[in-house]
Structure formats: C-alpha cells, structure tokens
C-alpha cells in the first residue's frame, strides 16, 4: 500500500513514540533519515527554533536558501524572506532539486545493498521493453499482485481437487466393497 505524506508522517511519529530507532523507522515507513528528523522535530516544535537559528547564522545566502527549500518553503517565500532576486532563487531551487535527487539515489543504493545488480538488470529490461513510465510501472505492480492472488487461488483449487480425488477413491473402494469386489 502506498501512503501519502500525512500518513507517512503519522506512521513515523507512531514508530518514534514506540521507541523505534531512526533506522528502524526508515525501513518500515520508507522515509529517509533526514525526513524522519524533520518530521519528529516538527512535531516537537524544534524545527521553528532551528529555522530561526539557521536564518540568523552567518551562512551564505545560498545555504540559507537551500535550508528554506529543505523546510518546504516555496520560491516566493524564499525570495521575500531572504530578499533575493527571482533568478537567484530559481537557480538555488534547481540546485536543491539536484541535491535531493542525489540524496534519494544514495538512499536507494544503500537500501539495495547486494541486490544492486538485480535492480540494474530489472532497470535495463524495463528500458528495453519501454516500460519506464509511472503508469506502466504501477500497472506491472498491479499485475504482479494479481498473479500472486491467482497463484494462491490455484493452490487452493489444487488442494480441493486433491481432497475430492481422495473422496472419489474412498467411494470407489466403498462401491467395490459393496459389490464384493476386492
């Protein structure tokens, strides 16, 4: 099941309240360690203090800009708060997005571990079959789920056929016994 942002945040907070470690939370909720920190700080109010501290520190304007994007601020808010020209804000936002994607890629690399060759093989096969759009990937996942369901149903039906064949053999033996045939 795919969770939306609010559901993931609730799950992170629930697991944190249960005393789970950040790494355990990341594995269960499929959320980056950085995002877990943001979510937990936001729930305790620590993110506002950290935000104010960072904006008042003697960081470069670009660093302050990246931090504001990390907190979820939009381009207009960043431009107003930091008194920056729109072109500079947009350039920083593009840098922020590139860094985020790199973080996501690094997390994926860590998550895959020894399964990286399998993932690369899967990616190459999907590329070869031209199955790289979100819609096509979601369709493949749905089909795979349907196949698991079908396999389960087939297994149950095979068990039922086996049970019925056993009953059939018992009935044949019973009929033969009634006829006096051994």
Give the model confidence (pLDDT) of 7-49 as tens digits: 888 888 888 888 888 888 888 888 888 888 888 888 776 655 5
Phi first, then psi, for residue 131 (nearest 5°) are -120, 45
Instruction: Tell me what pLDDT residue 33 has.
Output: 80
C-beta of residue 75 within 8 angstroms of C-beta of residue 87: no
Q: Which residues contact 87 (CB under 8 A, 6 or more apart)?
A: none
Q: Return the pLDDT at 182.
A: 57
Task: For residue 150, give Cα distances in angstroms to 42, 83, 138.
Answer: 44, 60, 18
Q: What band does 176 get if pLDDT is binned at 50, 70 and 90?
A: very high
Q: How confident is the model at residue 157 (pLDDT cuts 50, 70, 90)?
A: very high
Higher-pLDDT residue of 177, 130: 177
Q: Say whether pTM exceeds 0.75.
A: no
> Which sequence spans correspond to the domains of the chain?
133-182
**87 or 39, which is more confident:** 87
Confidence check: pLDDT of 62 > 80: yes
Residue 99 has pLDDT above 60, yes or no: yes
The confidence score (pLDDT) of residue 45 equals: 66
Instruction: Identify the band that residue 105 occupies on the pLDDT scale cut at 50, 70 and 90.
Output: confident
Mean pLDDT score across all residues of the chain: 85
Q: Taking 90 as the threshold, does the pLDDT of residue 170 lie above it?
A: yes
Rounded Cα distance, 29 and 10, in Å: 10
């Amino acid at each position: 099941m795919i969770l939306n942002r609010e559901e993931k945040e609730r799950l992170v907070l629930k697991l944190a309240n249960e005393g789970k470690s950040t790494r355990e939370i990341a594995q269960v909720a499929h959320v980056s360690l950085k995002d877990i920190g943001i979510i937990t700080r936001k729930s305790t109010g620590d993110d506002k203090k950290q935000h104010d501290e960072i904006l008042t520190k003697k960081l470069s304007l670009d660093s302050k800009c990246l931090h504001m994007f990390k907190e979820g601020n939009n381009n207009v808010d960043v431009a107003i708060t930091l008194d920056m020209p729109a072109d500079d804000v947009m350039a920083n936002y593009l840098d922020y997005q590139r860094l985020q994607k790199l973080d996501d890629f690094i997390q994926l690399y860590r998550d895959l571990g020894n399964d990286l060759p399998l993932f690369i093989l899967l990616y190459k096969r999907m590329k070869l079959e031209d199955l790289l759009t979100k819609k096509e990937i979601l369709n493949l996942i749905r089909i795979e789920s349907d196949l698991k369901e079908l396999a389960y149903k087939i297994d149950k039906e095979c068990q039922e056929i086996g049970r019925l064949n056993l009953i059939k053999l018992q009935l044949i033996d019973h009929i033969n016994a009634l006829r006096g045939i051994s």
